[in-house]
Structure 1
Amino acid sequence: MQRHTIAVLVNDQPGVLTRVATLFGQRGFNIDSITVGGSEEAGLSRMVISTGGDDQQINQLMKQLYKLIDVISVTNLSANPFVSRELALIKVSASPSQLAELNGIVEPFRAAIVDVGPESLIIQVTGDTEKIDALLILLQSYGVLELTRTGSVAMTRSIVPADAAATV
């Protein structure tokens, strides 16, 4: 099963997120991640949803999304080159004496230690899912006390021919 990232532009109205998520569940799709936020146009929000399925299933899902009230456009970002980023905050068990050691681990990931306590610290990292997963593997030996991640935010790359965009 392939992983797909879909962008859905919707009217910023109560209940839209529920209708979209319900449609995914009714069609048997699991939502791996979902982010929702304002868009470049006032009154519209953009949902970026990561899910799995083959091309035919995703095309059918996109057609079903388009039928929902308040959905303006649906784009399969995975059909073209796109940029995707995620944010994670990771609380790790560590003493102040381990600060330099942990700094050496997080620095190559362009991550930052954003809070230091007597028995733990918090690391902030942004990047693609694989980058965050790789950092988490390295931090496991210290003891990950708490983890919170955003869903992916994504956008097609600028150098995509206009006729190549996969929009339903």
Structure 2
Amino acid sequence: MRHVLSVMVNDQPRVLARVANLLGRRTFNIESISVGESEEAGLSRMVIVTRGDEQTMEQISKQLHKLVDVIKVQDLSSHPAVERELLLVKVEAGPSERTEIGGIVEPFRAAVVDVGPHSLMVQATGERSKLNALLQLLHPYGVKEVARTGVTALSRSAVKVTN
């Protein structure tokens, strides 16, 4: 089962390496990891995508909590959450294909962010499945390069229902 972990850590050198090393030593595959500043000064948020059953995820959480720089671990898979990923893709495109490619990227709310003599670069954000679908549609034109950020996510706000 796929799990998305949100891990608050101290913003210190080597924290990312220690977290990745801990998961690697226990043979957990990291499908994606992204790290950046959080809402609190001095803390960073890591978003880690991995796979495992509930028992495995409990073990991962316990092991992460043993690291001094880990403040909080939350499994976003068990709560409603918003997940996004950024995709940059460079596609072969001469002047005659640009309009056609523009028609493909528009429904994905993607944007052309760079145009060269024989290529263009598209930027898209969204869920992984949406980005995969866009890539699949662009492949016939010739995908030259792809860069993806990996998943970043936050839990959704709770909505209170009043009668």
Verify same fold: TM over 0.5: yes
- CA shift, 1:27, in A, is 1.1
- The aligned counterpart of 2:107 is 108
Which string of whole-angstrom CA distances, capped at 9 and with x for unpartnered residues, describes residues 92-143 of structure 1? 0010221110010000000011111111000000000000000000011001
SS of 1:42's equivalent? coil
- The aligned counterpart of 1:60 is 59
- The aligned counterpart of 1:145 is 144
- The aligned counterpart of 2:45 is 46
Is the CA contact (8 Å cut-off) linking 1:96 and 1:116 kept in structure 2? Answer: no
Q: Distance in 2 between matches of 1:4 and 1:78?
A: 5
- The aligned counterpart of 1:24 is 23
Q: Distance in 1 between matches of 2:85 and 2:16?
A: 20
- The aligned counterpart of 1:69 is 68
Amino acid at match of 2:67: L
- The aligned counterpart of 2:124 is 125
SS of 2:123's equivalent? strand
Structure 1 residue ranges (4+ consecutive) displaced by more than 4 angstroms after TM superposition: none
Amino acid at match of 1:61: I
Is the CA contact (8 Å cut-off) linking 1:81 and 1:160 kept in structure 2? Answer: no
Q: Distance in 1 between matches of 2:140 and 2:29?
A: 30
Amino acid at match of 1:7: S
- % identity of equivalent residues: 61
SS of 2:61's equivalent? helix
Which consecutive unaligned segments of at least 5 residues does structure 1 have?
A: 162-168
- The aligned counterpart of 1:14 is 13
| Count of paired positions | 160
Q: Distance in 2 between matches of 1:55 and 1:88?
A: 30
- CA shift, 1:62, in A, is 0.5
1:5 counterpart = 2:10: no
Amino acid at match of 1:151: G
Q: Distance in 2 between matches of 1:116 and 1:17?
A: 35
Which consecutive unaligned segments of at least 5 residues does structure 2 have?
A: none
Amino acid at match of 2:64: L
Give me the TM-score of the superposition, normalised by structure 2. 0.96
